[in-house]
Amino acid sequence: MEGRVIVVTSGKGGVGKTTTSANIGTALAKLGHKVALIDTDIGLRNLDLLMGLENRIVYTLVDVVEGNCKLKQALVKDKKNPNLVLLAAAQTRDKSAVSVEQMQDVCKELKKKYDFIILDSPAGIEQGFQNAIAGASEAIVVATPEMSSVRDADRIIGLLEAKEEVKSYKLILNRVRSNMIESNDMMSVEDVVDILSINLLGIIPEDTAVITSTNKGEPVVHDEKAKSGQAYMNIARRIIGEDVPFMDLSEPKNWLQKIKSLFVTKK
Amino acid sequence: MKSLLSDIFNELKNKYKQFLSTTMESADSTKETATNRLRFVLMHDRTNLSPETMEKMRDELIDVISKYVVIDTEALDLNLAAEGDSIALLASIPILRAKTKEEQEEAILELEKKRLAKAQEIEEVELLDEESDEEETEAETNETEEEVSAEETTTIDEVEETVETESKKKK
């Protein structure tokens, strides 16, 4: 059976595409699947950093499409999991270095040997984004519960809808702050899902463990105590078809909040 | 004793009210604003309708409806509304009264006049664009612009007169 090509995209930058790509890829590999991660953000590569593989990159995606090396040579094995490989982006080139057709060819080749190919897309809706979605048949849209992020996600969803090759697209809501949602100072998961009318794949809580794990170059999904890590693992399970309920992110209340909640009925 | 008790009771009541009001306030805080603003901007993004286009549409809508009824143009409300995946154009148009047959005819004539004036204006602008290199024409432009604005500010009575004369001409 051929592998599934999934693009992780968002429109807006800084909402957690690369973190999501790294963690979903790692989680799927942990579940025993063969996974290839591709960083398509040419010129602004970061996936290697998040995976802690920055010192092992010899060849890049651009080297592969230009024929400087074989595809196999450019695939860097993960430190912990032999099922997981990374194809890094070139740092010294720009988005025009890879064409849509070349991207499709690379995906086609990788599909034969890997169960999942995860494409980390660059921000924006220009050439880089078009390249990233070229080989994909599924998409994950990452957004945070902020207006600008949701607006850009809506734009991306519109573009994905227009792409016949993309059969399904789902939302990951990242950096959710349950305490702010409870005090009505942040859009809730339901609000965003309703506004975008899109299926929800997962919710990731705002978590300092994401930052500390990035510092170490180890995706947070390795940290079994971290809520965000658990959330990413749940997402990976949903991707392979398991029915995993959404996590309850609400934090334990202190006594004052408990008394308040007795008096206030939700609208 | 009694008054002291009631004082304490009142004090407690006020505290409780304060407590409730602070918690209730948060119910319609920034989140509501964010979702509403977002819904609004997304509807325009999705339909690709700019506020200028909406304004134009609104004006033309007023023109057409005013042929038959007197409406409250100030209170007229034209908005986009989303229901699920589809987007609708919702208009709320308060009617003051229906127009009489004569008024209707008058309004139609007036509208026709407006349209002619507009067409003429466009023609003039096009003509002037072609000759805009010469300084002399620039001076002329100013004159004609003044004329146009003078025409625009004619009172209703004057318009009625002109409409009458026009209809006479037609006869």
Q: What is the pLDDT of residue A16?
A: 96
- A187 has a chain B CB within 8 A of its CB: yes
b/e per residue, A199-220, with b = 16+ CB within 10 A?
Answer: ebbbbbbbbeebeebbeebbbb
Chain B residues with CB-CB distance to A184 below 8 A: 26-32
Q: What is the pLDDT of residue B157?
A: 46
CA A87 → CA A83, A104, A108, A119, distances in Å?
14, 14, 14, 10
Does position B141 have pLDDT exceeding 70, yes or no? no
Q: Do A151 and B42 touch (CB under 8 A)?
A: yes
Residue with token string 């992780």: A8
Count structural domains, chain A. Answer: 1
Domain ranges of chain B: 1-46, 49-99, 101-170
Q: Would you tell me how many other CB atoms lie within 10 Å of the CB of residue A14?
A: 10
Tokens of B82: 């989303």
Q: Are B116 and B162 in contact (CB under 8 A)?
A: no
Tell me: the pLDDT tens digits for A142-193?
A: 999 999 999 999 999 999 999 999 999 999 999 999 989 988 899 999 999 9
CATH of the domain at A195: 3.40.50.300
**In whole angstroms, what is the distance from residue A7 CA to residue B48 CA?**
27
Does position A227 have pLDDT exceeding 80, yes or no? yes
Bridge pairing between strands B69-71 and B95-98 = antiparallel
Range of the domain at A253: 4-263
**In whole angstroms, what is the distance from residue B55 CA to residue B52 CA?**
5
Select from A89, A90, A120, A116 the least CA-distant residue to A20. Answer: A120
Does position B121 have pLDDT exceeding 50, yes or no? yes
Tell me the average pLDDT across B116-128: 85
Full-prediction pTM beyond 0.90? no
- With an 8 Å Cβ cutoff, the interface of chain B facing chain A consists of 19-20, 23-24, 26-32, 34-35, 37-39, 41-42, 45-46, 84-85
Cβ-nearest to B38 among A150, A158, A185: A150
The C-alpha of B119 sits at a distance from chain A's nearest C-alpha, in angstroms, of 38
Q: What is the pLDDT of residue B156?
A: 43
